[in-house]
Structure 1
Amino acid sequence: MLKKNKKHFLSIDPAKSPIFYGYIVLVIGSIGVFCSIPGQTIGVSVFTDPVKDALGLSRNQFSNAYLIGTIASALIIGRAGVWFDKYGARLVAFFAALTLGIALFLSSWSLHMSNFVKSILEVDSWMIPFVIITFLFFLLRFAGQGVLTMASRNMIMIWFDKNRGKVNAFTSIAISFGFSASPLWVDALIESNGWQGAWKWLGAALLLFSILIFLLYKNKPEDYGLIPDGKIIQNRNPKASNTVSKQFTLKEAKSQRAFWMYALILAFNSFFVTGLTFHIVSIFESQGFPKSDAIAIFLPASVVAVIVSIIFNYLSDYLPLKLFLYLMILGGIVASVGFLSLPTIYGIPLLITGFGILSGFYGVLNTIAWPRFFGREHLGAISGRVMSFLILASALAPSIFSLCYTSFGSYHFLGYLGLSYLLFIAIGSIKANNPNRG
């Protein structure tokens, strides 16, 4: 018999909703991912110049603090996945939003904390603000980019099965446009309120959103007599909704070739896109292009990414994901060739196309592959481990790109390294089949 869900104070019962509650989960979960922006690179980067200047840190010191904080968050994000499986999306996302909100308030007071510690220790050293901002970056990255994003995405996928691709198309479009516009409104917030005031406003917004999470986030449809996609359980048997033949544990998932091949191509996307974005002006200037040409690639690449995401999220309900895996590899190859061909007239179009294809398929595979391949029971632990790879790749990318340029006087080595890596993934993925399809 299906266990009745415990009643929570001010909680809403999805079984009494006039529409399938999964659609409410879809909207509120998408907002949850959007609210992770203050902990994402795109949200933090706008604060770089005013914060580093206020704290008296050089650009390298500030970047290294971000690197260390991000790596530290990657090392423990897998634990958050285990919490997701044990306690559910509601509690995990609630505490993630609460932590992110508190971290944003603490970040707004980072200068005061630094000056206070300096006065207590009677030491005027850059190490004091460096340590403080490193810890704050850890909190921002862990709670925002890591836990809140993972819990929100996973919750949506748990409430849908046959229609995962269609609902993920909605989420991808909303988040793509939301993330693309975020530097503009975050910058406007800083201009109006200063960097300290901007972080306080964002912190207040996260604390308010944590209340919505407590009210509206729901763990599983089975807890309320429902199953994914909106049907009512007739025999009250929760197993009736499972469309996969086996629910894999993290250990079992890691024994499958598909886990590693899909995780590695997603990690390549995180590495390449982060490194390219972080050093885009330097990369283009090294090939004789002005800054305006460098910045201009993001809009058309975003258009390509959204088109790819819409089409293939929809098709993912009907086609094997292995086809998408190879198309993503192809996008990586096109991007790498464009990267190497920048001095020519074909370089920028190829880079834009490959960049867009990579980003588009990233949104499809990173969300849909794990519940389809390994089931929903241990989705948090599995996606949490993958998230740790992605965060680590994005953390290392800026330093490796910079090291390549300072060592070889060019970024070209990374293009050849990328092609070699993609060839390895292509060969290794030949037998990377869906473990739940035999």
Structure 2
Amino acid sequence: MSATKRFSFIDPAKSPVFYGYMILVIGTVGIYCSIPGQTIGVSVFTDPVKDALGLSRNQFSNAYMIGTICSSLVIGRAGIWFDRYGARQVAFFAALTLAFALMLCSWSVRMSEAVKGLLDVRTWMVPFTLMTLLFFVLRFSGQGVLTMASRNMIMIWFDKNRGKVNAISSVAISFGFSSSPLWVNALIEGYSWQMAWQFLAVGLLVFSLIILLFYKNKPEEHGLVPDGKVPGPKDEGKPVPVARQYTAKEAQATRAFWMYALMLAFNSFFITGLTFHVVSVFASEGFPKEEAISIFLPASVVAVTVSTVFNFLSDYLKLKLYLYLMIFGGILASVGFLFLSTAIGIPFLIAGFGILGGFFAVLNAIVWPRFYGRTHLGAITGKVMSFLILASALAPSVFSLCFSTFGSYRLMGYLGLAFLLFLSLASIKADNPQ
């Protein structure tokens, strides 16, 4: 039995409806299951875990940063695995690894005390090193591999309708991610942080079996084609336009690869830095904590609206327009960041924040298969993912360094505007290489 059908009793070719719609549902659930390895899923555990381990907030944050940076350096290898073995096997082992890491996280205090006793030391370096290693595995398997494999699988099963299905997936993920801190926190308060991580680990073990059953690598392996058209006798002899299948090295030789990747990385850097320090950013301009936190809901509404509308339109419009609209969103956010204490500050920041997030959901999924084909999609998106993870890892420390050095975060706004100006000029010839 072939690897694509082993342990699976479901034949996509016999499905009464196009199996790609099942892929859309289960792939979206797969991205949702990566929450324990995402910042939004880890942040809820910060206070109870750092206190239990005896780490300061800075020590815990630095362990998270180092683990995340290390994961960004090797995530490209996971993209090569995706191309070689397919979404099914890669996502299965990613889910298992994430479940194993979560179980180890729940035992982190006992493991730390055991190592201290074995080495006869009482230093903070033991729990710091332990959490750095655990964060590396969490970020690599969750934010990196499981997310990439699930999203790429959805994109591979669709072509002409890629924007439409990404709109559905993006909206579901946006609402799912935004609500996750509530139920994760409820688990922690109701059962303890150790039990919460164990519940999540068991859930991922169950989902790994679902991956074996329902994940399918590509429609061609089952006699299907993207979007659901089954080739028949009438189609024989008809010329079929074939897109060039770029390797990762060939993709990186194009201007479009770097312009889109840098814009997506800017989004990860700016939004992560602002989110991480939002209370401090607003306090430095004289705003209370409540005002800082209140920006996320309207920004989310803008992001979901932009994502939904432009995902649907992406099947008909050039993505270069989207790139410039995303740059415009970044400019709005940077200006709002600079003039936060004025009347335009908060509205500009909310609008820019939302536009950035909305177009990120579109471009990060649609650009790579449309520009570079599906054959080496894993290696290409793996490289892009390494940029995004690295940018998100560096952002909190860079923002903090800016504030501690200059007593204000405004320099980040000026740097953002300078970078976006460069990107807008360099992207003039960033055309679709197809």
TM-score, normalization by structure 1: 0.97
- Cα deviation, 1:343-366, whole Å, max 9, x if unaligned, reads 102100000000000000000000
User: Residues 113 and 239 (structure 1 numbering): CA distance in 2 closer, same or farther, change over 3 Å?
Assistant: farther
2:365 maps to: 367
1:122 maps to: 120
2:408 maps to: 410
CA distance in 2, matches of 1:242, 1:120: 66
CA distance in 2, matches of 1:196, 1:215: 30
Indicate whether 1:300 and 2:295 are aligned: no
1:225 maps to: 223
- Aligned ranges for residues 147-226 of structure 1 at < 5 Å? 147-226=145-224
CA distance in 2, matches of 1:111, 1:254: 44
- Letter paired with 2:255: R
CA distance in 1, matches of 2:17, 2:373: 25
Q: Which moved more, 1:385-394 or 1:12-21?
A: 12-21
Tell me if the contact between 2:44 and 2:184 (Cα under 8 Å) persists in the aligned partners: yes
Q: What runs of 5+ residues in structure 2 fail to find an aligned partner?
A: none
4+ aligned runs moved over 6 Å, structure 1: 235-242
Indicate whether 1:355 and 2:353 are aligned: yes
1:86 maps to: 84
1:142 maps to: 140
- Cα deviation, 1:248-303, whole Å, max 9, x if unaligned, reads 00000000000000000000000000000000000000000000000000000000
Tell me if the contact between 1:233 and 1:240 (Cα under 8 Å) persists in the aligned partners: no
Give the secondary-structure state (helix, strand or coil) at the position aligned to 1:430.
Answer: helix
1:52 maps to: 50
Give the secondary-structure state (helix, strand or coil) at the position aligned to 2:431.
Answer: coil
- The Cα shift of 1:243 comes to 5.2
- The Cα shift of 1:5 comes to 7.8
Tell me if the contact between 1:227 and 1:233 (Cα under 8 Å) persists in the aligned partners: yes
User: Residues 125 and 325 (structure 1 numbering): CA distance in 2 closer, same or farther, change over 3 Å?
Assistant: same
- Letter paired with 1:416: Y
CA distance in 2, matches of 1:6, 1:362: 31
CA distance in 1, matches of 2:423, 2:104: 42
2:74 maps to: 76
Which one of the candidate residues 330, 333, 349 is aligned to 2:328?
330
CA distance in 2, matches of 1:26, 1:259: 26
- The Cα shift of 1:8 comes to 1.5
2:63 maps to: 65
- The Cα shift of 1:240 comes to 8.8
- Letter paired with 1:344: T
Tell me if the contact between 1:161 and 1:229 (Cα under 8 Å) persists in the aligned partners: yes
CA distance in 2, matches of 1:106, 1:149: 21
- Cα deviation, 1:44-66, whole Å, max 9, x if unaligned, reads 00000000000000001000000
- The Cα shift of 1:7 comes to 3.4
- Letter paired with 2:135: F
User: Residues 239 and 318 (structure 1 numbering): CA distance in 2 closer, same or farther, change over 3 Å?
Assistant: farther
- Cα deviation, 1:91-115, whole Å, max 9, x if unaligned, reads 0000000000010000000000000
Indicate whether 1:429 and 2:433 are aligned: no
Number of residue pairs the alignment of both structures matches: 434
Tell me if the contact between 1:89 and 1:218 (Cα under 8 Å) persists in the aligned partners: yes
- The Cα shift of 1:10 comes to 3.2
CA distance in 2, matches of 1:241, 1:154: 27
CA distance in 2, matches of 1:237, 1:131: 60
User: Residues 239 and 390 (structure 1 numbering): CA distance in 2 closer, same or farther, change over 3 Å?
Assistant: farther
- Aligned ranges for residues 237-256 of structure 1 at < 5 Å? 244-256=242-254
- Letter paired with 2:217: N
- The Cα shift of 1:9 comes to 2.5
Tell me if the contact between 2:4 and 2:216 (Cα under 8 Å) persists in the aligned partners: no
Tell me if the contact between 1:5 and 1:223 (Cα under 8 Å) persists in the aligned partners: no
User: Residues 238 and 89 (structure 1 numbering): CA distance in 2 closer, same or farther, change over 3 Å?
Assistant: farther
1:309 maps to: 307
Aligned-residue identity in percent: 70
CA distance in 2, matches of 1:244, 1:338: 45
CA distance in 2, matches of 1:281, 1:434: 40
Which one of the candidate residues 247, 252, 257 is aligned to 1:259?
257
CA distance in 1, matches of 2:98, 2:80: 19
- The Cα shift of 1:312 comes to 0.2
CA distance in 2, matches of 1:170, 1:329: 24
User: Residues 379 and 413 (structure 1 numbering): CA distance in 2 closer, same or farther, change over 3 Å?
Assistant: same
User: Residues 240 and 325 (structure 1 numbering): CA distance in 2 closer, same or farther, change over 3 Å?
Assistant: farther
CA distance in 1, matches of 2:11, 2:70: 38
Tell me if the contact between 1:169 and 1:309 (Cα under 8 Å) persists in the aligned partners: yes
Q: What runs of 5+ residues in structure 1 fail to find an aligned partner?
A: none
- The Cα shift of 1:238 comes to 12
Give the secondary-structure state (helix, strand or coil) at the position aligned to 1:233.
Answer: coil
- Letter paired with 1:317: D
Tell me if the contact between 2:107 and 2:194 (Cα under 8 Å) persists in the aligned partners: yes
User: Residues 337 and 243 (structure 1 numbering): CA distance in 2 closer, same or farther, change over 3 Å?
Assistant: farther
Structural RMSD (CA): 1.7
2:27 maps to: 29
CA distance in 2, matches of 1:10, 1:379: 24
Tell me if the contact between 1:339 and 1:415 (Cα under 8 Å) persists in the aligned partners: yes
CA distance in 1, matches of 2:382, 2:24: 20
